[in-house]
Structure 1
């Protein structure tokens, strides 16, 4: 089981290369996506759009769209993963606008934690209302180079943060990694961030769920997509969209 004490900051010592390869060790094993007849669109509740509806799932994923959609997309993603950032910039909006909005497809985002900064980011994107999780994650990926450069700029401060008592440690890491001002500019006050990151049980539970789910489902790299429980043999929108259409989203 992963705990914060075991997540090394040593991985942040070298500059982060923006590679589009999956962030992990192995290719995901794939399952068969059965071809089906086209699925009918499902109307959103009156006065709402499906792209505004967010449900937190038992797996602590943030599901966007119709929770009863017949085609369910799950993405395991790391907030420090360049390939995840690439999908966020070149696929996520198309998925939402063209498929989630129809009520036929839901999009659930789950965190796979790769390092200590990743864990703090995963806690911070959860710190506001449920509806801010997807937008804040998108902001992180859109600014990934800048954020990682800032996080790597002061390794001594990160090490000092790790020596603090646990209830102070996560916020100190966020400060040392220059994350506090970034999130404050996007609607999370400093006091909100401090309160969220002082909740040691909640923060470490994110890492523990990541470890457990990755082991149970064989998630070895990010982004990994599942469509109706089957892994997709692609980490890009070009590979994911045909699978959705085969599953009936056409």
Structure 2
């Protein structure tokens, strides 16, 4: 589903009327978390027009790429529970390099990612984590007021908030990441993870991550 500029400008003015997918309908295949398939390394390595925002050491032996939607409840659960443990245990210790890529399932999810991109690379993940932690506050019928309030906590003004949500280049860059993930990598649900190139659909617990990462770190 292409998120067009016309749709999104309308959404920025009255986003609640534009939500094509209700909160919670994120198509995550939780029970299929260990499903795996091979993907092209070249396709997987291809970042979007805005580049990847990497967390961790460039020479880490394991790379985890997550495709997520900001309105996805399972994505929020991963970031609120598993991600802090993963960061402490694997990223901060130099064992894992982590990349989050945008896969918005609706205009509101695109708005969240746009704000994260507009915040700048140094604040990108902080903005993403804040929006995931406060997801229930802004993924609501009238999302603009709470989303603006959260953005202001991150340093946005009302003008910069509105300007960001009208930025066609940022929207198209995010859309291109989603399109590439769907067409080249088989991403069709969120969250979807690639651990050293292997695909895993659905949310992952820290125990499930341990099982996948330990053999890779020993090899």
User: Which has the higher mean CA deviation after the structures are superposed, 105-114 or 181-190?
Assistant: 181-190
TM-score, length basis structure 2: 0.78
Structure 2 runs not aligned, ≥5 long: 9-16, 39-45
How far off is 1:243 after superposition?
0.6
Select the residue among 47, 55, 62 that pairs with 1:58: 47
The residue that corresponds to 1:38 in the other structure is none
The answer as to whether partners of 2:30 and 2:202 remain within 8 angstroms in 1 is no
The CA RMSD measured in Å over matched residues stands at 2.9
Q: d(CA) in 2 for partners of 1:203 and 1:101?
A: 31
The residue that corresponds to 1:159 in the other structure is none
Bigger share in helix: 2
Q: d(CA) in 2 for partners of 1:243 and 1:233?
A: 13
The answer as to whether partners of 1:30 and 1:232 remain within 8 angstroms in 2 is yes
The residue that corresponds to 1:70 in the other structure is 61
The answer as to whether partners of 2:31 and 2:202 remain within 8 angstroms in 1 is no
1:69-114 CA-to-partner distances (Å, cap 9, x unmatched) read 1210111111000000110111101111110111121010111010
The residue that corresponds to 1:188 in the other structure is 156
Q: How does 1:224-239 map to 2 (within 5 A)?
A: 224-232=192-200, 234-237=202-205, 238-239=207-208
Q: How many residues align?
A: 199
Q: d(CA) in 1 for partners of 2:161 and 2:19?
A: 24
The residue that corresponds to 1:53 in the other structure is none
The residue that corresponds to 2:169 in the other structure is 201
1:179-234 CA-to-partner distances (Å, cap 9, x unmatched) read 21221022223333233233212212211321222221001111111111111355
10 and 180 in structure 1: CA distance in 2 versus 1, 3 angstrom threshold: closer
SS of alignment partner, residue 99 of structure 2: strand
